[in-house]
Structure 1
Amino acid sequence: MKTFSLVLETPAATPEATHRHYMNKLSVETDVADVHYDMQHGLNDFLLIDVRSPKAYAECHIPGAINLPSREMTAETTAAFSKEQLIVVYCWSPACNGGTKGAARLSGLGFKVKEMLGGIEYWRKEGNEVEGTHVETAPMVG
């Protein structure tokens, strides 16, 4: 008796389609390790934006990041940003879609943007430097 396979129920994509999918995914996402590596090696020619609330940002954020909550992203609040420079956004954690919302708003305004997967939670879990008023006691997730 042959057992039904949930994995094989939907046929796999061609290698070409799979490659295209993952390249597209990488073009809009980055991760904590890659951002940290670039920053440590002076390769941070990107604007890092923390999309969480001003309170959360003040308590604990990635050094060099600016704070701009996704709901406040408008043509006026982003007027000083270069459309030529990549913007990297982050939020709380993998369970937060604030970074996704920020990336959608910024790209809708004509900016090149990537979302940093893992957010401040994984930045801290990987032992990377943070700054703010409550770096030791700030919540890991919002």
Structure 2
Amino acid sequence: MTQQQLTASRNPVLSVPPAAPADAAAYFAASLAFHADVSDVAAVVAAGGDARTRGFTVVDSRSTQSWDQGHIPGAVHLPTAQIPQLAPEFLDRDTPVVVYCWGPGCNGATRAALALATLGYQVKEMLGGMEYWIREGFPYETADGPARREPDALTAPVGADDCGC
């Protein structure tokens, strides 16, 4: 038995070997085509402008109660169940969509992205959702007005504008 085989048999990380580099590159490139990072979305939203100048529309797929509790400034509110009826009214098919829900423990944004893609929209899911938007200290709007929390040191660098990744 080789050292690599011995290590893999005792190591749960390597019990399934890593993909070949070309396969890994294809997988990660595809992942970037389907997902957007909270920090990247926040940077573009903070620069201002509308969906046309930003290059994408942000869609909140949560309930009205959740929307009122807090949403990304400038987002369009399209609860997942209402996407087939409301998307044509509120979205431009030529403008990509970035959709979010509560956070990584919720697949609402995935379901909303599927609904939008089925209707012919280009769509990305924002990783981390509203939870990470708030945890990273970005401003949001509530039914009572603007809000912002201090960044959580476990999700955002303290004293820096970005994580450098």
TM-score (norm 1): 0.86
Q: How many residues of Structure 1 are paired with residues of Structure 2 in the alignment?
A: 135
Q: Does 1:16 align with 2:26?
A: no
Partner of 1:48: 58
The equivalent position to 1:129 in structure 2, one of 139, 143, 148, is 139
Distance 1:45 1:53 in 2: 25
- Contact 2:78–2:87 (8 Å) recurs in 1: no
Distance 2:131 2:82 in 1: 22
> What secondary structure sits across from 1:131 in the alignment?
strand
> What secondary structure sits across from 2:131 in the alignment?
helix
- Cα deviation for residue 133 of structure 1 reads 2.1
The equivalent position to 1:94 in structure 2, one of 97, 101, 104, is 104
1:70-92 per-position Cα deviation (integer Å, ceiling 9, x unaligned): 11110x31113222111010000
Distance 1:57 1:44 in 2: 22
The equivalent position to 2:33 in structure 1, one of 27, 31, 36, is 27
Distance 1:78 1:54 in 2: 16
Distance 1:6 1:112 in 2: 37
1:11-56 per-position Cα deviation (integer Å, ceiling 9, x unaligned): 2211111000000011010111010111223462211111110111
State the percentage of identical aligned residues. Answer: 37
Distance 1:25 1:84 in 2: 21
Segments of 4+ moved more than 4 angstroms: none
User: Which structure 1 segments of 5+ residues have no match?
Assistant: 137-142
Distance 1:99 1:27 in 2: 15
Letter in 1 for 2:28: Y
- Cα deviation for residue 8 of structure 1 reads 2.6
> What secondary structure sits across from 1:13 in the alignment?
coil
Distance 1:24 1:120 in 2: 23
Name the stretch that deviates more: 89-98 or 38-47. Answer: 38-47
Q: Does 1:59 align with 2:69?
A: yes
Distance 2:13 2:70 in 1: 42
Distance 1:58 1:94 in 2: 20
Letter in 2 for 1:16: A
Partner of 1:118: 128
TM-score (norm 2): 0.75
Q: Which has the higher contact order (CA 8 A, sep 6+)?
A: 1
User: Which structure 2 segments of 5+ residues have no match?
Assistant: 1-5, 148-165
Larger Rg: 2
